[in-house]
Amino acid sequence: MPAPLVTKIYTADPSAHVFEGKIYVYPSHDRETDIQFNDRGDQYDMVDYHVLSLDHVGGETTDHGVALKVEDVPWASKQLWAPDCAQGKDGRYYLFFPARDKQGVFRIGVAISTRPEGPFVAEPEPIKGSFSIDPASFVDTNGDAYLYFGGIWGGQLQCYDAEGKAFDPSQDGPHEPSGTGTAALTPRFAKLTDDMLSFDGPVQELVILDQAGQPLQADDHDRRFFEAAWMHKRGDVYYFSYSTGDSHFIAYATGTSPTGPFTYQGTILEPVVGWTTHHSIVEFKDKWYLFYHDCELSKGVNHLRSVKVREIHYDTEGRIIKQTPADDA
């Protein structure tokens, strides 16, 4: 089983990218708390972000220290959950992150730095029209940039209509659609403007279909989207991967466009130690790597997680070969 990248702090929800010839990892920073576990995720009470980097996989990991703190985000009240980072056309780095606003509603903000490791300076307001959690940025080979996001239960996705224009507080917490013939909630995405600070058009649903071409069903908890969106591209194929939440899989779907639709293909990683699972996939030096977290270091404490990495492989038809946590790195 792979070892944690760092052990002096707890880290989770890793978003990995190659910048300036090395891998930079943007995780959330778990901390010990007396808040009791609940299905709203209150125990995940993170207050800052650290940035990690690796010159090569298997080598020493550098912790660059605090890159952004919640008190430096004017609109945020608490819970700096899973972030991501992208490089803009201007060469600067844009950290996308969710947090609860002063009313306790999750929004997505952006902070800017001239360096991939930060420090980052937050914009004074969240992205207009943003909602829910787990932003994942993707810059396509033609330069177009997108932001994928969403998470149910504590992530509040179920509180909104398709475009996020109405918030129903009665649905906050462990709620989601159910029943025969009911489609699952979908992740959301929006194209980003060239300055990476706004949505260039409306928020849209990212459709995930089964092999028969039908939307995944709400009661299909082994396959439906829960949280932890990630997009990567290999050749001409787009891979959208995500967590199934309460069934604890990292699953994926493929498509021919970054806007979908996507067809479910299978599982990348089976359940890890701990309740949550969250990941990213990146190519580095002609190999593909899965960054993820588990609770092995904390001996199963769900809100104290550690980022790990393992190589992944594709078969001749482009399918990702499934792994179990106990497989060798």
Q: List, by residue number, the catalytic residues.
A: 13, 227
**Whole-number Cα distances in Å, 284 to 22, 32, 83, 257:** 8, 33, 21, 23
Asked whether the beta carbons of 158 and 167 are under 8 A apart, the reply is: no
118-146 core/surface letters (b: 16 or more CB in 10 A; e: else): bbbebbeebbebbbbbbbbbbbeeeeebb
Break the chain down into helix, strand, coil percent, rounded to 5: 5, 40, 55
Alpha helices in the chain (DSSP H): none
- What is the rounded CA–CA span in Å between residue 69 and residue 66? 7
- What is the rounded CA–CA span in Å between residue 62 and residue 52? 5
With a CB cutoff of 8 Å and minimum separation 6, the contacts of 21 are: none
With a CB cutoff of 8 Å and minimum separation 6, the contacts of 105 are: 131, 156, 167
